[in-house]
Amino acid sequence: MVSTVPENLKDWVQLDDDVLIKAHLKGDRRAFEVLFKKHRDSVARLVFSIVKNETLVEDIVQEVFLLVYRYLPKFRSESSFKTWIYRISVNESIRQLNRSKRWITVAPCEMEDMSFPTALVVVSQGPNQERFLLEGDNRRLIHTALSNLKPNHRVILSLYYLEEMSIQDVAQILDIPEGSVKSRLYYARENLKKILAPTAVEPGAEKNVAHHGM
């Protein structure tokens, strides 16, 4: 028994990932179960935002955690566990996407089932850009619009806005320079704005929008 972990399994979710990883590597099977429970939903959400095909999500999620289990002994904590598992998720999603060469646009009801976080989108310009918190119909609108973007643009927007990863974390996940992240974000955001233009939120609809400064 690893002395740094509690007896009660449900209390394990309060533990940091690095404690769980150490417990897993010392042979405690419960640790990986908790890692799976802690990260499964966010991995599934990220995978779905990339492939836009509900039928592929569960298979990809299972493959992601199989890869995590296999390579966890080689994890060196040079980045956070979340960043590491997101990188595996992105790579596996793109691999499956290239393999299938198809994805489907999902109806709003199906998107709700995936428990997406509220969408965060930059809609202002200039040095003081803001992230706008969109809810209700606007939330569904964002996810529908994302399905019309190229996969690499969906990835960058999903990581930065939906998962609220930092520029540095996104760079690590995608294995590209931070400057490239900023450039891709700009072009992805511009394309998203073009898609959203016909149904943009009107100035009088502020009650549906709460803004947070970057």
Phi then psi for residue 128, to 5 deg, are -110, 60
In the structure encoding, which two tokens stand for residue 195, read together? 């898609």
Q: What is the dihedral angle through the alpha carbons of 170, 175, 176, 178, rounded to the nearest 10 degrees?
A: 40
Percent of the chain with pLDDT over 70: 65
Would you state the pLDDT for residue 79? 81
- Does residue 144 carry a pLDDT above 90? no
- Alpha-carbon distance of 112 to 38, in angstroms, equals 20
- Residue 133, φ and ψ in degrees, nearest 5: -90, 110
pLDDT at 203 > cutoff 90:
no
CATH topology of domain 9-100: Rna Polymerase Sigma Factor; Chain: A (1.10.1740)
Whether the CB-CB separation of 195 and 145 falls below 8 Å is answered with yes
Secondary structure class of 212 (helix, strand, coil): strand
pLDDT digits (tens, 9 = 90+) for 83-105: 999 999 999 998 887 776 544 33
Average pLDDT over residues 111-139: 44
Identify the DSSP state of 194. H
Q: Pull the structure tokens for residue 206.
A: 């502020």
DSSP 98-111: HHH----PPPHHHH
With a pLDDT cut of 90, the percent of the chain lying above it is 34
Same fold, 9-100 and 117-213: no
Cβ(88)–Cβ(99) under 8 Å?
A: no
Query: Taking the domains of the chain in order of start, what are their residue ranges?
Result: 9-100, 117-213
**157 or 140, which is more confident:** 157
- What pLDDT, on the 0 to 100 scale, is given for residue 102? 47
Q: Round to whole Å and give the CA distance between 157 and 49.
A: 9
Burial call 77-88: b when 16+ CB within 10 Å, e when fewer? eeeebbbbbbbb
* CATH number for the domain running over 117-213: 1.10.10.10
Q: State how far the Cα of 20 lies from the Cα of 99, in Å rounded to an integer.
A: 33
The predicted structure's pLDDT at residue 138:
58
pLDDT in tens, 63-85: 999 999 999 999 987 789 999 99
The per-residue pLDDT for range 24-60, each reduced to its tens digit, is 999 988 899 999 999 999 999 899 888 888 888 999 9
Whole-model pTM: value is 0.70
